[in-house]
C-alpha cells in the first residue's frame, strides 16, 4: 500500500525529504571499502497522459549549456512544494513517428514507512559567458584499441546523432542530457530520426594474435547505428526556458528500437561527495576536439548541491550527456560495482569568495530522479526498490 503526498504542507514535505537520509546504512561499515549507501526510495507513477501536437524539430542542437548560478545560489533557493515537484517530474514522450504525449505523475511513499521522497529545485540565471572547459594541463585520455573500447566500462559510452554522448543503462535504454535533444522549448533538428552509435572495429577480427591495445597504429573504429524508438524528457527541463529551473533536470532517457546486446551500467542514487572513493568521479565521452575518439577523464568533486556536482574534469562540447560514475562496494552481493550517479551537463561561472571560478557541472541522480528514470526503464515501481 502506498500513501499519496497530495496536500502535504511545506514543513511536512521537508521532513519527508529527509527520510531518504535517516536510517541509511553507513557507507563505511568496512573502513577500507567505500560502500554503496542504502536509501529509502520514493515512488513516481504516471497519473494521466495527454496527446500533444507534433513538434517542429527546428531547434539547433546544443552540445553544451551554461549558467552562472553556483552552489550558494542553489543552496539559497527554497524547496519546491509537492505540486511543483510533481510538475517538474512530469514528462514528455516523443515517438519515432513524431507523435508526442505529456504524462503527469504522482509521488508516493510506502505506507510501511520504508521509503520517503527527497527533492530540491533551483532557479538559475540566464547570464551568458565565454566558455572554457579545460583547466590547466589537459588531463583527458583518448582510449584506443578495441581491447579497451569494446570492453566494459568504456563500451557503455555511445554517441548520439545530434552530437552528444550517452550511456547504456539497460538492454534497450540510453541515459543522456536533455539539452542534447531538447533546447527547453522544442526538440532539436534530427531528434525525430535520432540514432545511437556504437563503436566497433572496421575490420573483422582477422587474428587474435595481434595485441591491438599496444599496437603503434591504433585500430580504426566505426560507428554502428541503432534508431531510437522513443525519448522521455522531464518537464522540469521543458518548463518555459530551460534555465528558468536550470541544469537540475538536464537528463533524458532514450529507448532503442532493438536491444544493443552489450553490457550496460546500472543507475544509482548519488551519494554525498564526501562518501565517493577519493571524492572523485569518472566519465567518458566523444569530445568534439578529438573526433572519432572516446575520451576518458576523472577528477575530484569541488562542491555540490542537492541536484548538482561541481568539478573541473576537462571536457569539450560533445562530452555532455556522458554518464558520471563511481565504483563502490555492494554489500548485499559482496562485490565491487560501478553505477551511473549523474549526467555531465555543462559549465558555470561561480563566485567563490568574490573570485570567479569556472566549473563543469553534472546533474546528480537524486532519489526522486532515480525513481523516475528507473520507472521509465522497468515500467514497474516494484523493480525500483534499490538505488
DSSP 194: -
Q: Is the dihedral of CA 310, 316, 317, 319 positive or negative?
A: negative
The length of the chain is 387
Nearest by Cα to 341 from 277, 263, 385: 277
CB of 100 closer than 8 Å to CB of 52? yes
Is 244 considered catalytic here? yes
Could you check whether the bond before residue 153 is cis, i.e. omega within 30 degrees of 0? Answer: yes
- Among candidate residues 320, 322, 345, 347, the one labeled active-site is 320
Is 205 considered catalytic here? no
Q: Which three cell numbers stand for residue 264?
A: 550496460
What is the enclosing helix (H) or strand (E) of 376?
Answer: helix 367-378
- Among candidate residues 104, 125, 244, 289, the one labeled active-site is 244
Q: Up-side HSE of residue 165: CA atoms within 13 Å toward CB?
A: 33
d(CA 108, CA 16): 11
Kindly write down the DSSP assignment for every residue of 85-145, as one continuous string: HHHHH-EEEEETTS-EEEEEEEEEEETTS----------------------SS---EEE-S
Is 320 considered catalytic here? yes
- Among candidate residues 179, 232, 282, 347, the one labeled active-site is 179
Active site residues: 179, 244, 320
Amino acid at each position: 500500500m502506498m500513501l499519496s503526498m497530495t496536500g502535504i504542507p511545506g514543513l511536512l514535505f521537508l521532513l519527508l525529504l529527509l527520510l531518504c537520509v535517516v536510517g541509511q546504512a553507513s557507507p563505511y561499515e568496512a573502513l577500507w571499502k567505500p560502500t554503496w549507501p542504502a536509501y529509502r526510495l520514493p515512488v513516481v507513477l504516471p497519473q494521466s497522459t495527454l496527446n500533444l501536437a507534433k513538434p517542429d524539430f527546428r531547434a539547433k542542437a546544443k552540445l553544451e549549456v551554461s549558467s552562472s548560478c553556483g552552489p550558494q545560489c542553489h543552496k539559497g533557493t527554497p524547496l519546491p512544494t509537492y505540486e511543483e515537484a510533481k510538475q517538474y517530474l512530469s514528462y514528455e514522450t516523443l515517438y519515432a513517428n513524431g507523435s508526442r504525449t505529456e504524462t503527469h505523475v504522482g509521488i508516493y511513499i510506502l505506507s510501511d514507512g520504508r521509503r520517503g521522497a527527497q527533492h530540491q529545485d533551483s532557479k538559475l540565471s540566464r547570464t551568458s559567458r565565454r566558455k572554457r572547459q579545460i583547466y590547466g594541463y589537459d588531463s583527458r585520455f583518448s582510449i584506443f584499441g578495441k581491447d579497451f573500447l569494446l570492453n566494459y566500462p568504456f563500451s557503455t559510452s555511445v554517441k548520439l546523432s545530434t552530437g552528444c554522448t550517452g550511456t547504456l543503462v539497460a538492454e534497450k535504454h540510453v541515459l543522456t542530457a536533455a539539452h542534447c535533444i531538447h533546447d527547453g522549448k522544442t526538440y532539436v533538428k534530427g531528434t525525430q530520426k535520432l540514432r545511437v552509435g556504437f563503436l566497433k572495429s572496421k575490420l573483422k577480427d582477422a587474428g587474435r594474435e595481434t595485441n591491438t591495445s599496444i599496437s603503434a597504429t591504433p585500430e580504426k573504429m566505426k560507428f554502428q547505428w541503432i534508431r531510437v524508438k522513443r525519448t522521455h524528457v522531464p518537464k522540469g527541463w521543458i518548463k518555459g526556458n530551460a534555465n528558468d529551473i536550470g541544469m537540475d533536470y538536464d537528463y533524458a532517457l532514450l529507448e532503442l528500437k532493438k536491444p544493443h546486446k552489450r553490457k550496460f551500467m546500472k543507475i544509482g542514487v548519488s551519494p554525498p561527495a564526501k562518501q565517493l572513493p577519493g571524492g572523485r568521479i569518472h566519465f567518458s565521452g566523444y569530445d568534439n576536439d578529438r573526433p572519432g575518439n572516446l575520451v576518458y577523464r576523472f577528477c575530484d568533486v569541488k562542491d555540490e548541491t542537492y541536484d548538482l556536482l561541481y568539478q573541473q574534469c576537462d571536457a569539450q562540447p560533445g562530452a555532455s550527456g556522458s554518464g558520471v560514475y563511481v565504483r563502490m562496494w555492494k554489500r548485499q552481493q559482496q562485490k565491487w560495482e560501478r553505477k551511473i550517479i549523474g549526467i555531465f551537463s555543462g559549465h558555470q561561472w561561480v563566485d567563490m569568495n568574490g573570485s570567479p571560478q569556472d566549473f563543469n557541472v553534472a546533474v546528480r541522480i537524486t532519489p526522486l530522479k532515480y525513481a523516475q528514470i528507473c520507472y521509465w526503464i522497468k515500467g514497474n515501481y516494484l523493480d525500483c526498490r534499490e538505488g
